[in-house]
Amino acid sequence: MDKLFNSGVLTAERIETVIPPRDLWKTKKNGLVIIECPQRIPCNPCYESCPTGAILPFEDINDTPVVDYTKCIGCGRCVAKCPGLACFVADLTWGAENEALMKLPYEMLPKPEPGDEVVCLDRIGSEVSQGKVINITEPWEDSTMVVHVVVPKDRVMDIRNIKVVKNNAR
């Protein structure tokens, strides 16, 4: 049986299937969406929320999303709308050579603030690096924040959440 169905965490083979085209990803300002929605379930808020049609129409409501990366503008609206917190945006053109900007869904407390140093977590909640919050948006005004975090570029395909550490307490 596929490890995904035993653990709920994407396997390395499945991660490879959700990476945006590398040539476009390295040049597209504002980033490209990464959608880690591997199971066929009745869900399409990412498609419904996409203002440019980058997330293609589903033939069946149970289909997994397909992205036309040439249309993606990295707006993060799908990030905020996905009920499974499975959409992320990564901008490899942002900042210094070794930095990237990630737009991550966030629905927990404490709420981060611009300037906060945060702990970046992988798919299973392990700490993988540090990051810095530079912006927070709430595209749908529904309490789902999109946190813009500067992260190490080489960890973009690992980082999937953050832990806000207030008063240096872990």
* pLDDT value at residue 132: 98
Mention every residue, 6+ apart, whose C-beta is less than 8 A from residue 59: none
24-57 per-residue burial string, b: 16 or more CB within 10 A, e: under 16: ebeebeebbbbbbbbeeeebbbbbebbeeebbee
pLDDT (tens digit per residue) in 3-21: 545 566 777 667 667 788 9
Most confident range, picked from 21-25, 83-87, 115-119: 115-119
Mean pLDDT of all residues belonging to the chain: 90
| Banded pLDDT at 1 (limits 50, 70, 90) | very low
DSSP reduced 3-state for 60: coil
Pick the closest to residue 90 from 47, 33, 133 (CA basis).
33
Q: Where are the domains of the chain?
A: 3-164
Does pLDDT of 112 surpass 90?
Answer: yes
- Say what the pTM is: 0.89
